[in-house]
Amino acid sequence: MIVDTIKENLCVNKKIATKKEIIFVEGDVIVPDAKPDVINIICTSGVACIYKKDIIDEKIKIEGKIDTYIMYMTDDNNERTRGINTSLDMSEVINISNINSDMESKINTKIKEIEAKVINERKISVKATVELNIEIFSKEEISIVNSLENTEEIKMLQEELTVNSLVGSGETKIYAKDNISIDNIDNLVEILKLDVGICNKDIKISYNKVLTKAEAEVKIVYLTEDNRINKTVSKIPIIGFVDIQDVNEGNSCDTNYEIRNIIVKPNTVEEHSIYVEIEIGVTTTAYEEKIINIIQDLYSPSENIEFNKKTVRTIAGRREISETKQISERLRMDELNNRNIIDVDISPNIVKQNVMGNKIVYSGELELRFMLGGEELEIIMKKETIEFEYSIENVTDGDNLNINSEIEIMNQDFIIQEGGEISANIQMLINTMLDKNININTIDEVQTNGEREEQDYSIIMYIVKKDDTLWNIAKTFGSTVDDIARVNGIEDENTIYPGQKIFIPRYKRSGVSSNQTSMINYA
């Protein structure tokens, strides 16, 4: 006979796959007729945009572009430095096992390296090395049996667990736009370099909505009419709402930002500004912390019980840790020679991650790319590396953790000292998301199959063996944990020890009695 069960629903956001893929994006650039010939390349920068991604069976297709800015040296003494802006198409199909069109993806894109080479004075070859960090998720609704109906004769071993259940996910598209001012004395000729990063991320949850807030930090290096090179930095607000049914203030959220397109257009000379518009795709996934009671095992002293066991994989222990780290370093740079610092690009990289007991220790490095200029308009580039370490304390169950860390540069300050040294002060924000995968063992499809075979004793003596529990002993002999604990004066049901002698009473059904006693030694 099938036993009616009481079930609880749990929504699991399974991470099906993670993959780090390195792709190469290449193209040639023809120097426009209006620009002077190229002698050599000073520097190349780019911003990666992904405007389309499709999951098909066993594959993910990505389409996008890299907006590239090339700064080069000319053969014109009056215009020693010029720039070219171009876009490289980026299209890639990546094989990933066990994925299909019903799944969702999250992609973090990073340009690891971009370089340009002179083919001839009117043609430049560009090659970008792009790192794609891909995560694929699948949503699954599962039912967990947490109780039985009409169960007077059935004993249940239950466990209380705290898990993170998926509330839902949603996405929106945001256009962050602004006119970025340049110095009033500057008449802009062309843009030489562009960098865009997403920073200061935050969320606020209201009824069925998540307010996402961040800033796009835009850095532009430009050339003026009087052949000076200058820089402007501005932050553009990114604000949007993501609709997620049933989300509330007690939930936690993962929010991912993807740059899809960038428009950069200088305004009229009189306005002394540059129009910037950034299309950003924002995806938010919300989780609730849920306490569930699950049945680990069951039996009946009076009836034969049959059931299936199943294993459910989910996540638990989600938490976010944010820490700031200040780095102060002195860098020796002989190339200064009365030059000034025009710009510094900083790329943080985590080189090594070790879990040591209840602590995660990181080793990383900051790659610094200095752009140096002087009165003679000669621009040189110089790379430096600063190593750093940091750790996260009080981490539990470190060996089973999923760890995802992001580093954001909050502030940077570089001061030229006497003797060719640069004083570097950099403040980093390190955001780490932790959770762990857990397997939940539960039961399903419970049914009774006749009465349990009668035993010819009413009480036995048993000698506890290693790994015994009162539950297993009671199940084996058709007794109950409560009855064994009561007869033996055991206060803590979880505390028995090998060699201990305990008496096991037979379970009494209503209207059934027995006067027989048996003394059995199970060694």
pLDDT at residue 399, rounded to an integer? 65
pLDDT at residue 512, rounded to an integer? 41
* % of the chain beyond a pLDDT of 70: 95
Strands 59-76 and 209-224: unpaired
Sign of CA dihedral 288, 404, 407, 69: negative
Q: Please report the beta strands in 96-228, taking only residues with DSSP state E, as ranges in sequence order.
A: 104-120, 123-148, 155-181, 188-206, 209-224
CB 104 within 8 A of CB 136: yes
pLDDT at residue 515, rounded to an integer? 40
pLDDT at residue 129, rounded to an integer? 97
pLDDT tens-place string over residues 139-193: 988 888 888 887 777 888 888 899 999 999 999 999 999 999 999 999 999 999 9
**CA gap 106, 256 in Å, rounded:** 7
pLDDT tens-place string over residues 481-511: 999 999 999 999 889 999 999 999 876 654 4
Residue 367, phi-psi category: left (phi > 0), alpha (psi -120 to 50), beta (remainder): beta
pLDDT tens-place string over residues 303-328: 888 888 888 888 898 889 998 999 99
The CA–CA distances, whole Å, from 365 to 327, 333, 351, 432 equal: 11, 18, 7, 17
CB atoms near residue 334 (< 10 Å): 7
pLDDT tens-place string over residues 123-149: 999 999 999 999 999 998 888 888 888
Domains of the chain, first to last: 11-138+166-287+317-438 (no CATH), 456-523 (3.10.350.10)
Structural tokens at position 59: 């594959």
Maximum CA pair distance of the chain?
114
Look up the pTM and report it.
Answer: 0.84
Q: Which band of pLDDT confidence, cut at 50, 70 and 90, is reported for residue 516?
A: very low
Radius of gyration of the chain (CA): 33
Classify each residue of 319-333 as buried b or exposed e, where b means 16 or more C-beta atoms within 10 Å of its C-beta: eeeeeebebeeebeb
SS3 content of the chain, % helix, strand, coil (to 5): 5, 70, 25
Classify each residue of 249-266 as buried b or exposed e, where b means 16 or more C-beta atoms within 10 Å of its C-beta: eebbbbbbbbbbbbebeb
Q: Please report the beta strands in 300-420, taking only residues with DSSP state E, as ranges in sequence order.
A: 303-332, 340-356, 359-373, 380-392, 401-417
Q: Which band of pLDDT confidence, cut at 50, 70 and 90, is reported for residue 455?
A: low
Calculate mean pLDDT across residues 452-456: 63
pLDDT at residue 135, rounded to an integer? 93
Which has the higher per-residue pLDDT, 506 or 329? 329
CB 344 within 8 A of CB 370: yes
Q: Which band of pLDDT confidence, cut at 50, 70 and 90, is reported for residue 8?
A: confident
pLDDT at residue 375, rounded to an integer? 65
pLDDT at residue 242, rounded to an integer? 97
CB 151 within 8 A of CB 167: no
Calculate mean pLDDT across residues 2-25: 89
Q: Which band of pLDDT confidence, cut at 50, 70 and 90, is reported for residue 409?
A: very high
Name beta bridge partners: 142: 10
CB 19 within 8 A of CB 162: no
Calculate mean pLDDT across residues 240-248: 95
Which has the higher per-residue pLDDT, 387 or 150? 387
In this structure, what is the dihedral angle of CA atoms 386, 392, 398, 399, given to the nearest 10 degrees? 0
Residues sharing a CB contact under 8 Å with residue 282, sequence separation 6 or more, in sequence order: 171, 172, 173, 174, 212, 238, 240, 242, 255, 256, 257, 258
Calculate mean pLDDT across residues 222-246: 94
**CA gap 46, 49 in Å, rounded:** 10
CB 392 within 8 A of CB 359: yes
pLDDT at residue 519, rounded to an integer? 44
Name beta bridge partners: 396: none
